[in-house]
Amino acid sequence: MNSFHRIFLLTFFTCCPGLPAQDAAIRLMPVPAQMAFSGQGFRLDESFTLKVSGVGADRLYSYATRVLRRLSGRTGLFFSQDFIRKSDSAGSASLMIKSKKEGQVLLGEDESYTLVVSDSVVILDAATDLGALRGLETLLQLLSVDGNGYFFPGVRIVDTPRFPWRGLLIDACRHFMPVEVVKRNLDAMAAVKLNVLHWHLSEDQGFRVESKVYPKLHELGSDGFYYAQAQIKDVVDYAEQRGIRVVPEFDVPGHATSWLVAYPELASAPGPYMVERKWGIFYPVLNPATEFTYTFLSRFFGEMAQLFPDPYFHIGGDEIEHEGGHEAKHWNENADIQAFMQKNGIADNAGLQAYFNRRVLEILTGFDKIMVGWDEILHEDIPRNIVIQSWRGRDSMTRAAQMGYRSLLSNGYYIDHISPTDFHYLNDPLPADLPLSEQERKNILGGEATMWAEFVSPETIDSRIWPRTAAIAERLWSPRSVTDVDDMYRRLEIISLQLEEHGLTHEKNYDMLLRRLAGGGDIAPLKTLVDVLEPVKVYTRGRQKAYTSHSPLTRVVDAARPDAKVARRFRKAVDRFLTSTASGDEAERRIVEYLSRWRDNHLRLQELIAVSPILAEIGSLSEDLSKISHLGLEAVSSISQQKKRPDSWVKQSLASVKQASKPRGQAELMVVAAMEKLIISAGSMQLQR
């Protein structure tokens, strides 16, 4: 939170000394562009009513009705109003929503709004009904409580998004995600003002859309897990009702094994092909040298263009040329393709892919679609009317913008990498020092969080998306100056619980998975351990153990969550203990509580492991946590008493910490770095707390 927002918070507290600070404190995510607290507040009771005036699409009335129900659910108040309708009679209401026009769910549509809360009325004024949707979510987040009941604090908010493209990619191919998973995530996206669902629908491991033009695509390439066209239309409409665009991705020419199972004549090498069960980069690739490929794609893309009305259409285009040595092997070994390249003066495979992409661009342009692709499609021979999505690094996004292409950032937003929230939060698509002119900066449309599905199931996907994606949503909506990490984490805990009302499972499935692992036993000792575990990062999990699409996703590593809250709090407490005399005593008390619990936990967990063999793989992690917690307690005692530990103790203790840092069961302890700090401080000659 920047100084502007802090000033007005201080003003609010000064004007309202009777309101507890924790009730009046700002809890919005994303933080609005401008906000000023007045000191007034609107009290809620069962007479609360809502009215829409001006011009608005039907979606505003249905959205407002859902917001009223959510408000009733949060407060327990029995509001007399049932549905918000166009036919509602004119007159005043507690909440007046004014929309000037019906917005189009298109890139760049106005999503701004002004929200004013006084003691007598709440007024939400927006240029479009889409802006009104965003403002309603802000109002719900403002809901506060004190000894007299629920209220909205007095405030004036003027808000508009920083970037027009704020997305979440859901991969439904590597593991299929049923419609209900997609819908609950759409609801959560709307709650934090994301506005693009990037739906990854074809991959080596599965083709996920019904095609009536080429039915063998879903019949042979999906293992029976695909979306019927009626379901696609339903999801697109569901998203539109929430002001969210749906951009489909059909990955070509690589990552195409599932296409070739059904239609091997599209391939660059002879078949037969089978749906891929493993993860990685594979040789199968479409043949860019035959007209059959483009005839096929034209008919298929034409069919899909009717299902997905958004102007943007993603073709993938990634990982044809791969540094690991693949280098489009099937292209290289196909004599006809090599002859085609020679005849047409195509120097290399990058040029061949550029030729393919130009042909696909012509097809999509014919259907009034704008082509989007991963940064591998960036090539000087491609027209500038496409969009580049950068996943390999910020440099490709910057270079694309400099060349005149519009671009998106996903590098740094790969939530499947299990990076901590603050890593994503501080990853700005458009930092002040980016070497772009003002005109080039306009080419940066925004960004997308990417949820690739190698290691998630419908039970666990929410825990990988949320709540971290709410922080990414703030980065894409709020002013660049909003960068207070501690305050972000404070607000994130509030938002995470609010998101549960949409049916998300990121909080509740944690205990469920632990209960299953415990086989009916007491989960307390297991939870004590898993609270400080995280899955290994980036692509380490697949390197440590061979996985297929049928491998179980029910182990401790699947229950363990990214950015483990207990571990993060311990690390913060250690930092305060070692650096701040003012808060050192309280931090010491908390550290001792943590360490004592962890030291004693292993004996209890051993009893559970004995009757639940699935837990055996993390038994040594539990034992190591107990050992280093004992060492941590010794270190804290020495630091408090200003008694230096001998070098031999430090050396042996650090060896134990190093052993504890080794992952087991594809999970790792997230408190070892803080333990190391304690041990080194206990052995330091400069103990000056």
Given a cut of 90, whether residue 538 has pLDDT beyond it is yes
Please say which residue of 427, 457, 492 terminates a domain. 492
Given a cut of 80, whether residue 16 has pLDDT beyond it is no
Q: Does some domain include residue 498?
A: no
- Same domain (yes/no): 406, 528: no
Compute the average pLDDT of residues 268-283: 93
Q: Does some domain include residue 423?
A: yes
pLDDT (0 to 100) of residue 40: 81
DSSP 68-120: HHHHHHHH----S-----TTPPSS--SEEEEEEEPPPSSTT----EEEEE-SS
pLDDT (0 to 100) of residue 673: 97
Distance separating the N- and C-terminal Cα atoms of the chain: 30
Kindly indicate the confidence band of residue 131, based on its pLDDT and cuts at 50, 70 and 90.
Answer: very high
CATH number of residue 317's parent domain: 3.20.20.80
Please say which residue of 468, 492, 516 terminates a domain. 492
319 is catalytic: yes
Residue 398: name the closest of 411, 381, 417 by CA. 411
192 and 474 in contact (C-beta within 8 Å)? yes
pLDDT (0 to 100) of residue 15: 36
Given a cut of 70, whether residue 689 has pLDDT beyond it is no
| Residue-number span of the structural domain to which 39 is assigned | 3-159
Q: Residue 311 carries which DSSP code?
A: S
- Same domain (yes/no): 206, 221: yes
Given a cut of 60, whether residue 4 has pLDDT beyond it is no
Q: Residue 325 carries which DSSP code?
A: T
658, amino acid identity: K
Kindly indicate the confidence band of residue 23, based on its pLDDT and cuts at 50, 70 and 90.
Answer: very low
- Same domain (yes/no): 179, 66: no
CATH number of residue 12's parent domain: 3.30.379.10
Strand partners, 202: 207
Q: Compute the distance between CA of residue 436 and CA of residue 662 in angstroms, rounded to an integer.
A: 42
- Same domain (yes/no): 123, 189: no
pLDDT (0 to 100) of residue 38: 86
Kindly indicate the confidence band of residue 101, based on its pLDDT and cuts at 50, 70 and 90.
Answer: very high
Percentage of the residues of the chain whose pLDDT score is greater than 90: 88
Looking at every residue in the chain, the average pLDDT score rounds to 93
- Same domain (yes/no): 190, 146: no
- Same domain (yes/no): 545, 650: yes
- Same domain (yes/no): 99, 177: no
Domain count, the chain: 3
Q: Does some domain include residue 264?
A: yes
Please say which residue of 462, 492, 522 terminates a domain. 492
- Same domain (yes/no): 619, 478: no
DSSP reduced 3-state for 36 = strand
Q: Does some domain include residue 689?
A: no
pLDDT (0 to 100) of residue 324: 47
Given a cut of 70, whether residue 96 has pLDDT beyond it is yes
Q: Does some domain include residue 502?
A: no
Over residues 203-218, the pLDDT tens digits come to 999 999 999 999 999 9
320, amino acid identity: I
pLDDT (0 to 100) of residue 654: 97
Q: Compute the distance between CA of residue 601 and CA of residue 622 in angstroms, rounded to an integer.
A: 8
Q: Does some domain include residue 255?
A: yes
Higher pLDDT: 56 or 660? It is: 660
Q: Does some domain include residue 420?
A: yes
- Same domain (yes/no): 517, 602: yes
- Same domain (yes/no): 474, 521: no
Over residues 638-671, the pLDDT tens digits come to 999 999 999 999 999 999 999 999 999 999 999 9
- Same domain (yes/no): 567, 453: no
- Same domain (yes/no): 589, 534: yes
Kindly indicate the confidence band of residue 685, based on its pLDDT and cuts at 50, 70 and 90.
Answer: low
Catalytic residue, chosen from 319, 376, 588, 676, is 319
CA angle (360 as vertex; 291, 380 as ends), nearest 5? 115
Q: Does some domain include residue 64?
A: yes
